[in-house]
Structure 1
Amino acid sequence: MVARIRGWATRHLSYAGRLTLVSSVLATIHSYWATIFLIPNGILNRINAICRNFLWSGKAEYHKALAISWDTCCTPQDEGGLGLKEVKNWNKSLLGKYAWWIATKKDHIWVKWVHSVYLKGTPWTDYTPPADSSWSWRKISHVMSIFTPAYTDGKWLNSHAPYNICSGYNWLRQPQVKVPWRFLCWNSLNIPKTSFIFWALMHKRLLTKDRLLRMGLVVDTHCDICRSFPEDHQHLFSGCVYFKECSRLLQHQLKVRVPVSDMISWYSKAHISKLIKRVVGACYVSMIYQIWKVRNEARLKMFVRQPEALVQQVICDIKNRIQRLNKTKFKGRDRNWLCAL
């Protein structure tokens, strides 16, 4: 994993780019071994640390405080996380299939060997491995003891469906309450890097000046865009005159009356064309990203883009995104609306 990271040119990758590499490459390298035996906790902790450090810094080592806890990152997207797998529970759920095979006496030569050599007629749920048994077998037995409460009369979770890895993982981690902004944040028309910034905003973990002040990194807390009020999440993405002007121009451009101050509720309840709603949501999330970019430009380069230029950039980005992703024909009304943007 460390060798892969050193070989990647991660200097210019966005958080969304690193997230893709973590979920598709780094977090899968150990998967083969995780299906064979229970990996020691020290190694799993190191795997977690490498993935976590690469996501936030682009390196295998990172010695600063994290913007958002790794436990939050490892929850599903609809529960407020990034959809990454927690490697310890994932390892146990992968081994859970062996426990299921043994419990149901699957017609498999290895299962028959286990019953004849180890169990010898003892019910699987009452079995305790002997001290001289192999380390791998003791760990499989340990995983079985963990999953025993989920087995009732040989059935998994009181259903006729067989055990599967995803259901075992979800049972171990205990699902949480779903967040109301999940559909807006992970809209398929969103540009990935804008979704990541919006996700961080929903957790109030962007490095606005009120947070930098608590860290002792700044003295002046006034908004770098309007220079009128202290900068925090509430001001920058709701109360700032720059945000209000961008919102007004975006609504005018989209020709849709959208209560920007209550976008999350509107997105889940609006009864309009599905495509129009997704495009409006993607434009709003992209506007959040662009305003955060403008704030950084104002702080580092002493330059603030005009709201008109920002809105045109948002519309252009989303239209390009639609053209790249959508291969189906639009309905006449939706097509006319898109062409008028």
Structure 2
Amino acid sequence: MHFLWGVEEGHHKLVFKNWDSFCLPRKEGGVNIKEILSWNKTQLMIWIRKLELDSNTIWAEWVKAYLLKGKSIWEFQVTTAHSWGIHNIVSCKDSLIEHAGSLERTRSLLCKHDFKKQIYKLLRPKGASFSAYKTLGDPLNFPEHIVIGLLAAQDKLAALDNICKRGFLLANRCALCYYQAESRNHLFFECAFSSEVWQAITQWLKIPAITGFSRLIRWFKACNCGVSRAKRLFKVASLAFLVVKHRILYLLIDN
């Protein structure tokens, strides 16, 4: 993700989408990156599972003999005498019970063969449903194309209108045509440069003109233009990346 947040000579890029939202599944508007805190808790639950299923590992036997001393792991309470690792494991146990809603459900989750997947799903951040995920988040696309398409669909790109809304005092003029205010719709559909690119794409795919994101998404879902879905996704995602790349190059030339 360096291309998105990359820092160079003390300057970092503007991104109007936080990291937690990138860690959501594609169907919730993310790119399906593991959220590290939730995943770490999930991994720590492996040790609780060893105790729950009476594992005969050396570690489990040691914990039973010297820490639990006949008690269940669910009854065990840490003290200042216990190690940092034991504190973390017990803390994750309590967090999982809280998210699961009951001890019975927690123990049931630990017994499943896909317990890590189930526990991570329970602990990770949640997002609203994102209807365009199959179109813009296809794993066949390049990561850069997926992210740019996702930011564009959610109107989270660092276009000048979004930058100005956040208090930056800038002249809002499109970096490609220097004529109108720069917004997502202008950058991708209304700008003279973008219109030429779209015209070439629609002629290439032999489809009607596309004039906005809502129409683009509907076209993906409903049309049958004679090429495979994977190729259509690749071409339009590449287009989104191309427009943004040229916009950045124009800004660099001006500066």
The separation in 2 between residues aligned to 1:154 and 1:209, in whole angstroms, is 48
Q: Which residue of 1 aligns with 2:228?
A: 276
**Shift in Å at residue 236 of structure 1?**
1.8
Looking at structure 1, the residues matched to 105 and 16 of structure 2 have their Cα atoms a distance apart, in angstroms, of 45
**2:15/2:158 contact within 8 Å kept:** no
User: Of residues 110, 126, 137 in structure 1, which corresponds to 2:86?
Assistant: 137
How far is 1:94 from its partner?
0.9
- Give the CA deviation at 1:254: 1.5
Q: Give 1:1-341 correspondences, 5 Å limit.
A: 18=2, 56-58=5-7, 66-149=15-98, 150=100, 151-152=103-104, 155-157=107-109, 161-162=112-113, 164-214=115-165, 215-216=167-168, 218-219=170-171, 221-257=172-208, 259=210, 261=212, 262-270=215-223, 276-301=228-253
TM-score when scaled to structure 2?
A: 0.78
Alpha-carbon separation, structure 2, partners of 1:146 and 1:70: 22
- In structure 1, C-alpha distance between the alignment counterparts of 2:173 and 2:59, rounded to whole Å: 68
Shift of 1:64: 7.4
2:6–2:12 CA contact under 8 A, matched in 1: no
Q: Deviations over 1:17-54 (max 9, x none)?
A: x37xxxxxxxxxxxxxxxxxxxxxxxxxxxxxxxxxxx
TM-score (normalised: structure 1): 0.61
Structure 1 residues 128 and 163, CA gap change in structure 2 (3 angstroms) = farther
List per-residue Cα deviations over 1:258-288 (Å, max 9, x = no partner): 7563122322344566x52221222112222
Partner of 1:315: none
Offset, 1:119? 1.9
More moved, 277-286 vs 163-172: 163-172
Deviation at 1:210, TM superposition (A): 2.1
Write the distance in 1 (CA, Å) between the matches of 2:105 and 2:244: 55
- Report the CA distance shift for 1:61/1:91 in structure 2 as closer, same or farther (over 3 A): farther
Distance 1:240 1:127, change over 3 A: same
Q: Unaligned regions of 5+ residues in structure 2, if any?
A: none
In 2: Cα distance, 1:153 partner to 1:240 partner: 55
User: Could you say what secondary structure the match of 2:74 adopts?
Assistant: helix
CA-based RMSD of the aligned residues comes to 3.3
The aligned amino acid for 2:230 is R
* Cα 1:154–1:240 shift into 2, 3 Å: closer
With 90-99 and 223-232 compared, the bigger mean Cα shift is at 223-232
Alignment CA distance shift 1:246-1:97 (3 Å): same
Are 1:180 and 1:264, in contact at CA under 8 Å, matched by a contact in 2?
A: no
Structure 2 CA distance for aligned equivalents of residues 280 and 101 of structure 1? 47
The amino acid across from 2:73 in the alignment is W
Measure the CA separation in 1 of the matches of 2:195 and 2:40.
48
Which is further off, 186-195 or 112-121? 186-195
Superposition deviation, residue 127 in structure 1: 2.0
Following TM superposition, by how much is the alpha carbon of 1:80 offset from its aligned partner in structure 2, in angstroms? Answer: 1.9
Q: Alignment identity in percent?
A: 22
